């Protein structure tokens, strides 16, 4: 599977109707949180992607009963949890492996986790996670892996996160939900997937307040009960489809969206010349559009930056490629990861006019006529962005490492083909 590659013929606009998959970044913490429950938990709208498959495999190794059907409904029962040591070979494929810590500590008093794997887009800082978990009563032991212990139960505390880390917030919420007393999490992340996890835990009997803000309050409960939850639509996938439709001159309707989750995405894309509208729960990308970047009121070069509640960092790569097809100049500022923008070398080789100022900033001058090239997908989001570049390019591009895109996007080649793209998958040895 790792030898798969995409062949993409450019020059064909995306047109039609698409429904987004369930939120990948909500699926991982929600599935990990099943460790907190004795009894069956049912999760609907689970995306069938490689990262989810890896996490489910890791949960099975721990003794969790897991079933995922073709309709995206997962049934998990962690009643007979048998281990505190996830399979390192499986966990090394996941950035979110540390999400297993709260459940393992609460149920077994111990967690041994390998270093996070997944995308190589920059350093994966664990300090904020440890700050949250140790503040709630866990202890860290030295060792080549991450060794955590908990004597009895998590205890309530006031936790101020030194960065608004999504995963650290999720870990703190899971731990506090089954702890003794009251916990306040300050400078908490508030992305849609964090909100989804909180709503899921509340459906299981947790008492979490302040959802959607950066101040969460949690009244710990003795135990969580079995329950059911439906994952929300993936706003990152929605933003990806918007960018692909706009840069190819297509017109697209994206159904079953949550409009409030898309406000900053739509605003940032508007700066790049993309107009969208909302009809109920359908996002409309009319086309074709003449893309032209907005100019700041004082004549300054516009920029696209800031993590949530600003523009989502996971859409930075797509925004950069979109900018290559819009008239004007823009500064793309990736504040979180120092390696995410290194894929621009491939775009420059395709004819894009980009100045990589430093590991975090790139200036894009558009529009550029891109030409096909053989390119390698370095991570999930850059892989999707390179598919977008290939859809715009003259000729047929070959994108290696298709498995990277499969980690975050469900059957992306089949879904793009249904929208008019010319994309095929070649399976390697």
Question: Residues with catalytic annotation?
Answer: 119
CB 340 within 8 A of CB 122: yes
DSSP string, 213-270: SSEEEEE--S-B--EEEEPPB-HHHHHHHHHHHHHTT-EEEE-S--GGGGHHHHHHHH
Helix axes 192-203 and 24-32, enclosed angle (nearest 10): 30
Torsion 226-228-232-237 (CA) sign: positive
Distance CA 185, CA 209 (A): 10
CA distance linking residue 167 with residue 310, whole number of Å? 18
Start-end of H helices in 253-355? 263-271, 316-323, 344-349
CA distances from 125 to 83, 105, 131, 166, 194 (A): 26, 20, 11, 12, 19
Count of Cβ atoms closer than 10 Å to residue 304 Cβ: 24
Nearest to 3 by CA among 376, 410, 408: 376
């Amino acid at each position: 599977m790792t030898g798969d590659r995409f062949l993409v013929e450019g020059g064909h606009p995306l047109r039609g109707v698409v429904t987004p998959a369930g939120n990948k970044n909500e699926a991982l913490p929600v599935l990990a949180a099943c460790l907190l429950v004795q009894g069956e938990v049912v999760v609907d709208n689970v995306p069938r992607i490689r990262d989810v498959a890896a996490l489910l495999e890791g949960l099975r190794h721990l003794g969790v009963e897991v079933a995922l059907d073709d309709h995206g409904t997962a049934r998990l029962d962690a009643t007979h949890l048998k281990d505190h040591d996830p399979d390192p070979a499986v966990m090394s494929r996941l950035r979110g492996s540390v999400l297993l810590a709260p459940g393992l500590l609460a149920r077994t008093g111990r967690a041994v986790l390998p270093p996070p794997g997944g995308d190589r887009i920059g350093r994966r800082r664990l300090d904020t996670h440890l700050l949250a978990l140790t503040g709630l009563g866990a202890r860290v032991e030295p060792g080549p892996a991450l060794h955590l212990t908990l004597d009895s139960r998590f205890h309530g505390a006031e936790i101020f996160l030194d960065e608004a880390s999504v995963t650290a917030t999720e870990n703190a919420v899971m731990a506090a939900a089954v702890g003794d007393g009251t916990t306040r999490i300050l400078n908490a992340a508030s992305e849609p997937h964090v909100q989804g996890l909180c709503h899921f835990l509340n459906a299981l009997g947790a008492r979490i307040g302040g959802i959607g803000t950066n101040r969460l309050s949690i009244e710990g409960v003795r135990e969580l009960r079995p329950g059911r939850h439906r994952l929300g639509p993936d706003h990152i996938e929605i933003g990806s489809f918007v960018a692909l439709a706009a840069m190819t001159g297509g017109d697209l309707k994206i159904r079953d969206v949550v409009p409030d989750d898309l406000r900053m995405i739509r605003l940032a894309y508007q700066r790049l010349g993309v107009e969208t509208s909302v009809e109920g729960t359908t996002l409309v990308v009319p086309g074709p559009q003449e893309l032209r970047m907005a100019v700041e009121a004082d004549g300054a070069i516009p920029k696209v930056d800031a993590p949530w509640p600003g523009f989502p960092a996971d859409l930075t790569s797509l925004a950069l490629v979109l900018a290559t097809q819009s008239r004007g100049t823009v500064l793309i500022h990736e504040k979180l990861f120092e390696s995410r923008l290194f894929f621009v070398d491939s775009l420059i080789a395709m004819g894009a006019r980009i100045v990589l100022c430093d590991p975090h900033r790139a200036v894009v001058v558009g529009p550029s006529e891109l030409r096909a090239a053989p390119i390698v997908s370095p991570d999930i989001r850059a892989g999707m962005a390179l598919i977008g570049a290939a859809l715009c390019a003259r000729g047929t591009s070959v994108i290696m490492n298709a498995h990277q895109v499969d980690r975050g996007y469900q059957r992306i080649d089949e879904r793009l083909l249904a929208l008019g793209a010319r994309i095929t998958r070649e399976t390697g040895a």
